Structure 1
Amino acid sequence: MNNFKAEAQTMKQAPPDAAESTVFHWRVKQLLEKLNKQPSDKVLDLNNSAMNTTDLKELIAILPLLPDLEEMDLSWNDFVGGALQPLTHQFSHTQKLKVLRLNNCRLMPKDVTFLGEALEVIPCLEILDLSWNNNIGGNLSSLTQKIPKGYNLKTLKVTDCSLTMEDGNSLAQLLNRIQNLEELDLSINKNIGHSLKSIARELKYLSGLKVLNLHMCGLKQDGFQCLAQIIPLLSSLQELDLSSNKSVGLSSDNLLTRLRFLPKLKSVLLSNCSLQQNSFASLAEAALHLPELKILDLSWNKCVGGNLKLILKALSLEAELQELRLSSCSLVDKDLACLALVVQDGPLAKLQKLDLSYNQHISDQGWATFYQGIGALEQLSELDVSLRPVSHCDCEEWFGQLLAALLKLPMLSDLDLQGWVLSKRQQKQLESFNWDNERKIRIDF
């Protein structure tokens, strides 16, 4: 650390004149080529470059030579952790920096403090990603308290950082000072759910918020009630991820009903949310008012089985859905029959990805009916009908319908059939399908 500080003090001199610029830029090029990266005046991408101490010292030395730098990515380099101070001292030379990514750098609490202190010299910063740094937990306030009111930050990501309730509260206090925020990712922080009520109250200041990711955040009922109240104020929201929060389905009818006030929603992820009959019905009702919906993930919600028609009826009014995930939803024959009918009617014509994996209760006749009816999905590129690895089910009764369906799906590139037992004859038919029909489908069985 003393060596790093000495380097930083040495480089706090005036920038090089034009006569020296060629030599200095040669140093930049030399370091990047050593790390197998492409040189650029505006983008410094050192992601996963296995940097060592010498490389980090050289990086500190060359930062003053990059006054036009707009993006820096040091993610997945362990040596950054604990050595961020001398690096942040050089940020005064990169005042045009807009993007800073420090994912999985083993950042220490003191690194977060140094970063917070350095923010004042990079006023143009728009994207800050500190994800996968577990030692940030309990220390986020040393960063958030340094961000001034009116700071132009548009994206803040702190995925899996072991954030605490105190971190959540400090983040809540920040939100009304960064009202230009467009993306907030707090996913995989299981203890932050206790402070969601505080965070939800402050979301009212983020009228331009487009992406809200609360995946696996241990959300609590009181937080959902407060989030439901501010939903109408988030009219710009395009992506909402509440997946792996089981309390969603148990207590959030009001929340899901209010999604109707978010007409710009393009992605709704509710995987593994323990949806119940009433909450699923509320979602289906809200979907009628989501004309721009492109991605819907309902995987691992057992109540979908036998009730798929509710959501399909809502979606059938529009033809924009591109991705539908229904993995492990306890689907039954009538669900696939309804899906096949909707496909034939045309409203799902733009569907590109369909996941029906891990649905064990569908009979051979159910699968046969489905394959007979999916020929209208001309834009479908990915289809997953896998079973659990322990299933080992025979597919003789519908294999012919599958082959016939493949001929009608010109854009299909990925087909997953894991868990199904195929005879040698069937395997050979699949292997020769691409050759015989001049296709390039990746088939996994």
Structure 2
Amino acid sequence: MSQIRRKRTASDRKPLGRFLSWTSDRPGIPEDGESEMKEDRGPSSGFAASAESERDVGWGRVCVFLKRLGKKGDSRSLSLAHCDLTATDLLELATLLQFLPQVEEMDISWNELIGGSLTALTSHLQHVGEVRTLRLCSCRLNSEDVVALGEALSYIPALEVLDLSWNSGVGGGGLQGLLGNLHPSLRELHLVACQLTAADATVLGGMVAALPRLCVLDVSCNAQLIQEVDTGGFRELVSSLSHATSLTTLRLQACGLTPDSLDALGGSLRCLPSVGELDLSCNKLLAGGLSRLTFHLAHVTHLERLDLHLCCLTRDDLEALIQVLPSLTALTELDVSSNKEVGGVVHPLVSALPVTQMRRLPFNSCYLSNESFTALALAVPYLRTVDISWCKVVGGHLALLLDALQPSVISELRLCSCELTTDDMQHLAAVCRRGCLSSLRALDLSYNSLVGDNGWCSLFAAGGLGSLEDVDVSLRPSTSAPCSAWLPALLRALPQMPALARLAMQRWTADCQEREQLRYCLKKRSVLLEWDPDLQDTSSACKGNSQESLEESQPEE
């Protein structure tokens, strides 16, 4: 018998369609009427249906790719940070961009294996022309990657945020690949820890001059940026800032600033009255030269946040700062922490500030005295954040600070290593009962080993911490103590802390059953418990306890 079948004509196939009309709801076997309707729609309808089907298939491929990486599909946001992407993954992602035409944010940061292969992605950026945010932090990008990115920026003219931080290959000449390729629409440029040199500063100056809408410039942690101030480099960079009239945030943390560089920076700040945040922290070399900048700060009338922590400020620096503070009428945050000399000028410093509008004024590691601690109480009623960690004078005198708190104002209280006593903790408990800490989200009481069991019991039994998200009661690394006396109070308090997300209690010891009770209670709430690894390992021996006995031991919620 012949194995070749005769093809059926159209007339032969129609009766078969009618004969199988009971399966008309199945795809691929339409009824006559449905077939005729498709014929009436014309070829354009067929193309549209085909295109829609292709998009559905493409989106399915995108979802499969994301699911493999533990991510969920979002047509407008592509977040693949910390996914251990390889060059092969990047190539596959590039082929999927055609199915993401509406994506506005792409974050591929912290994928160090894709360095050297960014071209695979940039060659497909024409499919995602609506991208407004592109983050490629810590991807080990090299100069060739930066050049490829620069050449592809024409595909994404709507780009507003570009973050290439923590890529050492950007510095040392790599930044040249972006020169002339950034669009005027760019609003944020982040180049933290890119090993930028003085030559890169010159290139960056040329880029900034062509970005009239730039609002945020962050070049922190580039210690070589300030080399040869007098011969160009940094001076050209800060001079270009006069063209960035929209600049509101300038971050120069840990850039090796010197008094000479402050001269250059100060002249440019006079042309930038809209700057609201200035971060000069962790620049120890500017010690003794802050007066070169404060003279110009008076013209930055919109300055809201000034960060000078860990700058080795001298008494003369602080006096120069105090003189200009009355001119900074918009200031809400001032950070002069980790400067030893601050402890001696707290009273004049606080008196010069617009205290009623201050929201953050940390004095941690400032060698506070009894007098300066008393002066701090003047500002506490208005602060959202209070940080006086590593100030031994607080111990035994915490009541002075707590009594100044206003109800439902403070959201962060940090008292790490303050030599707090049991009386201090009981006074803190009384403040909780009054409702003064009802809006508190972060509480750091770590490294206070002088607090007795009664103090911890009083705190956890007080209540009034319904908004608390983060609490740290850890002990110093060299110490340990049992928590059996106050752990039941903590277990009873947990249901009254519905927002709790992290509990740190390093170096506290407990028996097997107690550890398992706490672990089980927090696991039900998805709370991160930070406890010593050896204690956590030991707790695994308790897993033989029945689930029922654990549930019976939990406090009622």
TM-score w.r.t. length of structure 2 = 0.69
Please state if 1:421 is matched with 2:502: no
Per the TM alignment, residue 83 of structure 1 is displaced from its structure 2 partner at its CA by: 2.1
- Distance between the aligned counterparts of 1:407 and 1:84, measured in 2? 54
| RMSD, matched Cα | 2.4
Q: Partner amino acid for 1:443?
A: L
Which is higher, the Rg of structure 1 or of structure 2?
2
Map residues 22-171 of structure 1 onto 2, 5 A cutoff: 31-32=121-122, 40-84=130-174, 86-91=176-181, 94-138=183-227, 139=229, 140-148=234-242, 151-171=245-265
Distance 1:414 1:87 in 2: 43
Farther off after superposition, 97-106 or 263-272: 263-272
| Counterpart secondary structure, 2:241 | coil
CA–CA distance in 1 between the matches of 2:487 and 2:418? 23
Q: State the match for 1:271 in structure 2.
A: 364
Whole-angstrom CA distance in 2 between matches of 1:84 and 1:263: 47
| Cα distance, 1:41–1:401 mapped onto 2, change above 3 Å | closer
> How far apart, CA to CA, are the structure 2 residues paired with 1:388 and 1:200?
39
Q: Relative to 1, partners in 2 of residues 1:383 and 1:150: Cα closer, same or farther, differing over 3 Å?
A: closer
Q: Please point out which of 156, 175, 187 is paired with 2:281.
A: 187
What amino acid does structure 1 have at the position aligned with 2:214? L
* Greater Cα offset, 303-312 or 407-416: 407-416
- In structure 2, the CA distance between the partners of 1:34 and 1:313, relative to structure 1 (3 Å rule), is farther
Distance 1:363 1:34 in 2: 63
Secondary structure in 1 matching 2:207: helix
Instruction: Find the residue that maps to 1:212 and give its secondary structure.
Output: strand
Q: Does 1:352 align with 2:441?
A: yes
Once the two structures are TM-superposed, the CA of residue 29 in structure 1 deviates from its matched residue by 9.6
The alignment of Structure 1 onto Structure 2 pairs a total of residues equal to 410
Partner of 2:419: 330
Q: CA deviation at 1:441?
A: 2.1
The match for 1:287 among 358, 380, 392 is 380
- Equivalent pair of 2:407/2:435 in contact (CA under 8 Å): no
Instruction: Show the counterpart of 2:24.
Output: none
- What letter corresponds to residue 154 of structure 1 in structure 2? T
Residues 84 and 114 in structure 1, CA contact (< 8 A), matched pair in contact too: no
Could you say if the C-alpha distance between residues 439 and 64 of structure 1 is closer, same or farther in structure 2, counting changes exceeding 3 Å?
Answer: closer
Gaps of 5+ in 1: 1-21
Q: Partner of 1:210 in structure 2?
A: 304
1:408 partner letter: Q
Q: Are residues 262 and 409 of structure 1, via their aligned partners in 2, closer, same or farther at CA, if it must alter by over 3 Å? A: same
Aligned residues of 1:358 and 1:386 also touching (Cα < 8 A): yes
| Deviates further, 82-91 or 215-224 | 82-91
Is the contact between residue 83 and residue 111 of structure 1 (CA under 8 Å) also seen in structure 2? yes
Relative distance call for 1:87 and 1:263 in structure 2 (3 A) is farther
CA contact (8 A) 1:33 1:39 kept: no
Matches within 5 A, 1:338-417: 338-373=427-462, 375-417=463-505
Distance 1:298 1:33, change over 3 A: farther
**CA displacement, residues 122-168 of structure 1 (integer Å, 9 cap, x when unaligned):** 12211111011111133432311333277221111011112222112
Q: Quick one: structure 1 residues 66 and 54, their matched pair in 2 at CA, closer, same or farther if it must change by over 3 Å?
A: same
For 2:184 and 2:158, the matched residues in 1 are separated by: 8
Post-superposition offset of 1:371: 2.0
The alpha-carbon deviation at position 419 of structure 1 amounts to 1.4
Mark the CA change 1:194 to 1:313 in structure 2 (over 3 Å): closer, same or farther: same
More displaced 10-residue stretch of structure 1: 382-391 or 190-199? 190-199
Partner of 1:7: none
Query: 1:4 maps to what in 2?
Result: none
Hey, what's the Cα distance between the residues in 2 that align with 1:303 and 1:32? 57
| 1:297 corresponding residue in structure 2 | 387
Aligned partner of residue 269 in structure 1, secondary structure: coil
Q: Does 1:442 align with 2:442?
A: no
Q: 1-side partners of 2:184 and 2:466: how far apart?
A: 49
Question: What whole-Å deviation, never above 9, does each CA across 1:205-259 have from its counterpart, x for those lacking one?
Answer: 1221111111111111112112222222222222221111111112332102333
Distance 1:39 1:46, change over 3 A: farther
SS at match of 1:372: helix
Q: Which amino acid aligns with 1:403?
A: L
Q: What does residue 334 of structure 2 align with?
A: 240
User: Offset of 1:369 from its aligned partner?
Assistant: 2.0
1:30 Cα shift?
Answer: 5.1
Q: Flag the 1:120–1:443 CA change in 2: closer, same or farther, 3 A.
A: closer
Structure 2 Cα separation of the partners of residues 318 and 38 of structure 1 = 49
Conservation of the 8 A alpha-carbon contact between 1:378 and 1:411: yes
DSSP 3-state at the match of 1:235? coil
Separation of aligned partners in 2, 1:51 and 1:40: 23
Report if the CA contact (8 A) 1:236-1:262 is conserved.
no
Contact 2:212 2:244 survives alignment (8 Å): no
In 2, the alpha carbon distance for the partners of 1:414 and 1:141 equals: 45
SS in 2 for 1:191: helix
Whole-angstrom CA distance in 1 between matches of 2:241 and 2:500: 47
Are 1:103 and 1:131, in contact at CA under 8 Å, matched by a contact in 2? yes
Whole-Å separation in 1 of the counterparts to 2:205 and 2:144: 25
1:163-213 residue CA offsets vs partner (Å, 9 max, x unmatched): 222112222222211111011011111112322122222221122111111
Distance in 2 of aligned mates of 1:176 and 1:201: 10
The answer to whether the 8 A contact 1:88-1:114 is kept is no
CA distance in 1, matches of 2:128, 2:336: 38
Shift of 1:440: 2.2
In structure 2, distance between residues paired with 1:369 and 1:153: 49
